Amino acid sequence: MPDAVPQAAAEPANKRFRTVEVRRVERVTPKAVRITLGGDALEGFGTPLLGGHLKVMLPGTDQVRAYTPRRFDAARREIEIDVILHGDSLGSRWAIAAQPGDPIDLRGPGGRGHTVDPSAAWHLLAGDACAVPAIGMVLEALPASTRAAVIIEVGDITEERPLPSLAQVQTWWVRAGEIPGEALETAVRSIDLPEGAGQVFLACESGIMRRIRQHLIEARGLAPTSMHTRGYWKAGTVNYPDHDYGQDD
């Protein structure tokens, strides 16, 4: 009888935790902290998909949070994540206190990725502050020959930041109102979309995402297959599940 396969060996690589360390901490905006994690444990870490995620075990807790990687450098064995500060949440406390040299456990990459269609006539990228890292990744993947409209809802002007891309991009930063997501929804409903078959990347609060998704399908005639939609969080819910793609319509 062959020896039993050790549980750790049988576990998929992206499901096991790797211990890395904080290498750099940068306050990108007043409410966004960029944390660069690195170490030899990232050897063999798969390239994160556009709009995918990784999981971080918050130090001193048994709580795991999902974050969208902003950039992955396999050669340097480093990965960047942007943590959006939300009051006195566990993730916010970790990001504010993080220092170079701190150990941290992470696993991934995971989640469904967005695949850029090079034949798409245009791209619409929309989301709230939590979606900025993913939108940044998608913009960097767009070819120079395409056009993109970007709509992002943030609290105020201090949360705006450069989002480089080779594509021809027009960006609108809209101000959040009393109900998160409503300004984003209004802006998407108001935008004039170009002719031709386009592609959509949308990530925001779960309920708002569904309303915008429904509008794009029913009022704009877009095919569900042309859209990557994601509910990153849900109002009133702590640590919302990371697999809400809104495809329950």
Each residue of 74-109: pLDDT tens digit? 999 999 999 999 888 999 999 999 999 999 999 999
Residue pair 18/45 in contact (Cβ under 8 Å)? The answer is: yes
Q: What distance in Å separates the CA atoms of residue 127 and residue 173, rounded to the nearest whole number?
A: 10
Grade residue 248 by pLDDT with cuts at 50, 70 and 90: low
Give the pLDDT confidence of 112-144 residue by residue, as tens digits: 889 999 899 999 999 999 999 999 999 999 999
Question: What pLDDT does 236 receive?
Answer: 74
State phi, psi for 130 to the nearest 5 degrees. Answer: -65, -20
Give the pLDDT confidence of 57-68 residue by residue, as tens digits: 999 999 999 999
Write the CB contacts of 104 (distance below 8 Å, at least 6 apart in sequence). Answer: 19, 20, 21, 22, 37, 56, 57, 59
Give the pLDDT confidence of 185-230 residue by residue, as tens digits: 999 999 999 989 999 999 999 999 999 999 999 999 999 999 999 9
Q: Write the CA distances from 52 to 9, 83, 89, integer angstroms.
A: 24, 15, 22
Average pLDDT of the chain, as a whole number:
91
Question: Residue 146 burial by CB count (10 A; 0-12/13-18/19+): exposed, middle or buried?
Answer: buried
**CATH number attached to the domain at 7-110:** 2.40.30.10
Q: Where are the domains of the chain?
A: 7-110, 122-233
Question: What pLDDT does 1 receive?
Answer: 43
Residue 159 token pair? 């949360």
**CATH number attached to the domain at 122-233:** 3.40.50.80
Question: What pLDDT does 5 receive?
Answer: 42
For residues 247 and 94, which has the higher predicted lDDT (pLDDT)?
94
Nearest to 54 by CA among 21, 15, 24, 19: 15
Question: What pLDDT does 10 receive?
Answer: 58
